[in-house]
Structures are given as C-alpha cells and as structure tokens.
Amino acid sequence: MRYSARHKQETHRRIVEEAARQFRERGLDAVSVADVMGAAGLTHGGFYAHFGSKEELIAEALRSLRGSGPAKLGAAAERMAPRQKLAEMVKRYLSPQHRERPGQGCVVAALGTEAGRHGPAARQALAERSRGLVERFLPCLPQDAGQPREELAIAVAASLVGGMVLARLEPDARAAERILRACRRFILDALDAAPEPRDAS
Amino acid sequence: MRYSARHKQETHRRIVEEAARQFRERGLDAVSVADVMGAAGLTHGGFYAHFGSKEELIAEALRSLRGSGPAKLGAAAERMAPRQKLAEMVKRYLSPQHRERPGQGCVVAALGTEAGRHGPAARQALAERSRGLVERFLPCLPQDAGQPREELAIAVAASLVGGMVLARLEPDARAAERILRACRRFILDALDAAPEPRDAS
DNA sequence: TGTACATCAGTGAACGCGCGTTCACTGATGTAC
DNA sequence: TGTACATCAGTGAACGCGCGTTCACTGATGTAC
C-alpha cells in the first residue's frame, strides 16, 4: 500500500466532517462534491476513492453526527439534577449561538424538511438522528407527569426543532430571539406543571 | 390582445397552484420549471410569459398560501369557544392526514429548513407564512397565562411545525402517529395548566 | 355580419452551465529483495 | 542499509445529463374596418 491506512482514514474523516458542516449550513443540494473536497483540501476526482456516490457521503455525514449537537452537555452536567440538566439542554438548543451556526448545530433543525426527500439512506440517517435527539431528553424528564416520559421527550424535541426552524426563518435578530425565548419558556413551564422526577435530588 | 386577460390570469393561477403543491411535496430544487408547466398542462417554454424566473415563481407560490393550511377552520368554527377552536386547530395540524399530504399542508412544515437558503424572496415569503401561522393561534389563547399570549402563540406554532417535521421523518406510520399524539397532548396540556381566556364563554 | 390584420400565450428546439461521475495518469510511499 | 518495484490516494480533463433560460415561430382569438 502506498499511503498508510491511517492516512486514508484521516482523509476520509476530514471529508465527512466538512460535508456534515457544509450540508447543515447550505443544504444537501447546494453543496457539491467539489465543494466538500475543496474544503477538505483535495480535488473532486479523488472523491470516489472514498465514497460510491454523493448519496453515500450524505448518509455517512448525517450518521457521523450521532451523539453530537447543542443539546449535548459536558461532563460537568453529571452532577446536575435532572430538571436542571433539562433546563440547560433547552437553553443551549434554543440559543442565539445555535441559531447562528447551523453548521455546528442540530442536523434535524438544519435539514429536517429536505433530507427525507434525498433518498432512503439520507432519510433513514436523519430519522435516527431524530430519535437520538428524543432519547437524550428521556433521563431528564419526570416519570409521573400527566404524559408518559417517552411522549414528553418526543414533544420536547419537536418543540425545540420547530422553535429553531421558526427562529432561523426570521431575518430580524431581535424577533428571532423572541421566538427562542418564547419556546424555552413554554417548554420549561409545561414541564414544571408536572411533578419532578423522583430518581434524583 | 389574443387571449382574454382572464384566460392568462387563469393559466397563471393554475401554474402557481401546481407549483405550490409540488414544491411542498418534493422540495424547491427537485421540482423543475418543466415539471410545474407540465402539471399545469403546458410546455416549459411558455413559463417566461408569466414569470421572470423560477425564483419569482417560488416566491409567488409561497405567498399564494397566505391564510391557507390545515390549521384553518371553516365557518362552523365561528361559534366555538377559543379553547375548543384551539384544540381543533392543533388536532387538524397534527393529524395523520396532514402528515401524509404535505402538498396540501403547511408550507413551513414542508419547506421550513430549505426555503431560507433559496434566495431572499423565498426566505421572506416563508417568514411571512411563519408569522401568519403564529397569528392564527393568537385569538384562541388565554390572556393571563404565565406567558404573554403572543409568546404562547409562537411556542404553539413551533411545537406544531417541529412535531410535523419529526413525524414526517419517521418511516413507520405507527411511530409517526405516536409523535403526533405526543405533541398534541403536550401542547393542550400545557395550555390547560393556564387559565382560560376571558373574552369568550 | 363578414373579413383582414395584429397580438401574444404558448410551442419546442437550442443554449450554456454546473453537476455527479468516470478515467487515464501521477507520484509519494510501503514493501520485497 | 540501499534500491527497484508495486500500489493506490489523489489529480484534472472529460463525459453525459438535466436544469433554467432564450428565441424564432405558431396559430387562436380579439380588434378594426
């Protein structure tokens, strides 16, 4: 072998990383194979040494975002009570920073309406990211609210995604922040109306 | 003039209508000018007798949806109490029918993440539809809940849009209906925790 | 009312362009001796 | 350790294709007489 296997893996990783960023920033159609390769410091011809097609890259890029995103908290959150953790996740997700940087943010909020149309692989990958988002909220939610916590988690995730979509549509930054604030408060108020989870605090 | 002005207007209307349907079903990029013209019973060349560009068609198609959508109730809803009206709108928006027919449904849920990238006209048109969705909930919301009703309306609209986006990503119909149910219940429960509006009933 | 003319919505071939993809080639590096 | 060779990640020109757009043309219909 010419270059070491590590070298190729590293290049592959860089391509996927750039793709994931650019797809979220500009959309699946607007980003060309040449764009991604250029951003990774390569020319477009080498693409097919790594991927069978653009569709394959899309699927891998979306899958690569497993467990990432703005609702992900650091190790410092380990000691937080569930309710506090939830509030922090909601705050981070519905933050102006997240709104302004779709390339670093939640892929469901960035590509939710278009990825499903791009082929089965892209659709499945995004459906998995969507379920992953929901599951991240599960452990922070009250067990004995009016609604099963699994359903609460779904609804919280939906509100976050919708809030970000609406905020990004709004060209005026102040109006956009108002949207984010309204959604943050709505979600947290709704959960406060239900009892706290019992397992912690 | 050759054909009457009415004839041209009628053709124009048909093109916009087909465009609005197809864009919501398949996305702005996937639908070509020839697709729309074909669906309207014409050939692609005639397009520029009606529109300056595809972008112009997109903007007009999105604008044409003002005041439409699945949260729109018939005249029968005039007699309903605000709370009942709201429940009906939420139920219709987060319905399996709406999920299955994006071409007839809410344009924000159909194109929310991609329309903003398609040029200023498309973005502005969708931002207006987004505000229109919010305003539709305003009269049905309680005045003296914990949150100003303007913010409640924003949060309700966001939850609906996000719920539909998530439900459409889910390939399994039962799982999708669960998402819709979870969001319906979350929204209505959250609003019931607040006092009823005073102006009616 | 009938006829000649002008209009212009609509036709369909053609255009340039960017895209995804292919391919002959290159040259840096791992391997065999 | 040094040298010849084989490998294959990466290059860049080229391909076919579909798209948005243009344009010379058509022919049904409104208008003038």
User: How much is the average pLDDT of A163-190?
Assistant: 97
pLDDT over 60 at B198, yes or no: no
Give the whole-angstrom CA distance, residue B140 versus residue B143: 9
Give the whole-angstrom CA distance, residue A28 versus residue A25: 9
**pLDDT mean across residues, chain B:** 93
User: How much is the average pLDDT of B159-183?
Assistant: 98
User: How much is the average pLDDT of B2-25?
Assistant: 92
What pLDDT digit, counting tens, does each position of B48-79 carry? 999 999 999 999 999 999 988 888 887 778 78
Hey, how many other C-beta atoms are within 10 angstroms of the C-beta on B119?
17
The answer to whether A31 and A19 are in contact (CB under 8 A) is yes
Q: Around A46, how many Cα atoms within 13 Å sit in the side-chain half-sphere?
A: 12
Which residues have C-beta within 8 Å of that of residue A191, sequence separation ≥ 6? A83, A86, A141, A142, A145, A152, A156
Mutate to test the interface with B, among A131, A149, A161 (most CBs of B within 10 A): A161
User: How much is the average pLDDT of A125-131?
Assistant: 97
Question: What's residue A28's pLDDT?
Answer: 98
State whether residue B173 sits within 8 Å of chain A by CB.
Answer: no
Question: What's residue A5's pLDDT?
Answer: 74
What pLDDT digit, counting tens, does each position of A137-163 carry? 999 999 877 899 999 999 999 999 999
Question: What's residue A144's pLDDT?
Answer: 77
- When pLDDT is cut at 50, 70 and 90, the band that residue B2 belongs to is low
- Exposed, middle or buried by CB within 10 Å (0-12, 13-18, 19+), for B17? middle
- When pLDDT is cut at 50, 70 and 90, the band that residue A2 belongs to is low
Spell out the SS3 assignment of B45-102. HHHHHCCCCHHHHHHHHHHCCCCCCCCCCCHHHHHCCHHHHHHHHHHHHCCHHHHHCH
pLDDT over 70 at A197, yes or no: no
Question: What's residue A191's pLDDT?
Answer: 92
Tokens 């009628």 found at: B10
- Is strand C within 7 Å of residue B65 (CB)? no
Burial A76-95 (b: 16+ CB within 10 A, else e): eeeebebbebbbbbbebbbb
The answer to whether A149 and A142 are in contact (CB under 8 A) is yes
pLDDT over 80 at B197, yes or no: no
- Is strand D within 7 Å of residue A2 (CB)? yes
Hey, how many other C-beta atoms are within 10 angstroms of the C-beta on B131?
17
Distances (CA, A) of A2 to A6, A37, A47, A192, B75: 11, 21, 17, 60, 73
Q: Around B107, how many Cα atoms within 13 Å sit in the side-chain half-sphere?
A: 33
- Is strand D within 7 Å of residue B48 (CB)? yes
User: How much is the average pLDDT of B145-155?
Assistant: 94
pLDDT over 80 at A4, yes or no: no
Specify the nucleotide whose C1' lies closest to residue B4 (CA).
D30
What pLDDT digit, counting tens, does each position of A39-92 carry? 999 999 999 999 999 999 999 999 999 988 898 887 778 788 999 999 999 999
What pLDDT digit, counting tens, does each position of B113-142 carry? 999 999 999 999 999 999 999 999 999 999
CA distance A53 to chain B (A): 18
What pLDDT digit, counting tens, does each position of B79-103 carry? 889 999 999 999 999 999 999 999 9
Question: What's residue B110's pLDDT?
Answer: 98
Burial B159-168 (b: 16+ CB within 10 A, else e): bbbbbbbbbb
Question: What's residue B4's pLDDT?
Answer: 75
Per-residue tokens: B3 = 């054909």
pLDDT over 60 at A166, yes or no: yes
The answer to whether A117 and A55 are in contact (CB under 8 A) is no
Give the whole-angstrom CA distance, residue B77 versus residue B85: 7
Query: Which of A27, A157, A189 shows the shortest C-beta gap to B166?
Result: A157
Question: What's residue A193's pLDDT?
Answer: 79
pLDDT over 70 at A198, yes or no: no
Query: Which of B165, B185, B193 shows the shortest C-beta gap to A193?
Result: B193
pLDDT over 50 at A102, yes or no: yes
Question: What's residue B1's pLDDT?
Answer: 52
The answer to whether B32 and B119 are in contact (CB under 8 A) is no
